């Protein structure tokens, strides 16, 4: 009888050690694990604001090449009025979207140094973003 108790105790100890080894140390339970639904194998997806992300940067003069690119873009859009500079700032964007992501697009996940230039023409406001080059991206949201 004593052999059976020893064998049983050893089996219980082995089962406890096996279960402990399978557990993930330090991982809290997700809501899906506590409500009975299927557990997720990845962290929750965090979204950003649906409006343009307004970077905060230091005021800066608009380089001549960037201003010329803005004038060319406005001409392509048939904007006849003379543009008035509202603001210009040198910024660091958190990714390749230049602070103005488009739904369904993927962007480089790296700090991008650039400019944000806001102008008014024909009673409309235009928010231009520049990365490292002189090609403007109009943020239209």
Cβ atoms of 131 and 111 within 8 Å: the answer is no
pLDDT one-digit tens code per residue, 93-135? 999 999 999 999 999 999 999 999 999 999 999 999 999 999 9
Res 34 pLDDT > 90: no
- pLDDT reported for residue 63: 93
The answer to the question of residue 26 being in a domain is: no
- Sign of the dihedral through C-alpha 112, 71, 49, 42: negative
Q: What is the pLDDT of residue 19?
A: 60
Q: Within a domain: residue 43?
A: no
Domain carrying residue 81: 58-139
> Residue 5 above 90 pLDDT?
no
Number of domains forming the structure of the chain: 1
* Residue 22 belongs to a domain: no
**pLDDT higher than 90, residue 83:** yes
């Amino acid at each position: 009888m004593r052999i059976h108790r020893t064998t049983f105790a050893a089996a219980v100890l082995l089962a406890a050690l096996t279960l402990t080894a399978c557990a993930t140390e330090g991982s809290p339970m997700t809501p899906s694990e506590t409500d009975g639904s299927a557990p997720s194998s990845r962290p929750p997806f965090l979204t950003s604001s649906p409006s343009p992300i307004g970077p905060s940067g230091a005021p800066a003069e608009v380089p001549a090449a960037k201003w010329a690119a803005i004038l060319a873009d406005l001409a392509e859009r048939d904007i006849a009025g003379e543009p008035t500079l509202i603001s210009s700032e040198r910024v660091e964007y958190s990714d390749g979207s230049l602070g103005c992501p488009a739904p369904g697009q993927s962007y480089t996940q790296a700090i991008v140094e650039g400019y944000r230039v806001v102008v008014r023409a024909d009673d409309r406001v235009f928010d231009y973003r520049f990365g490292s080059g002189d090609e403007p991206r109009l943020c239209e949201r």
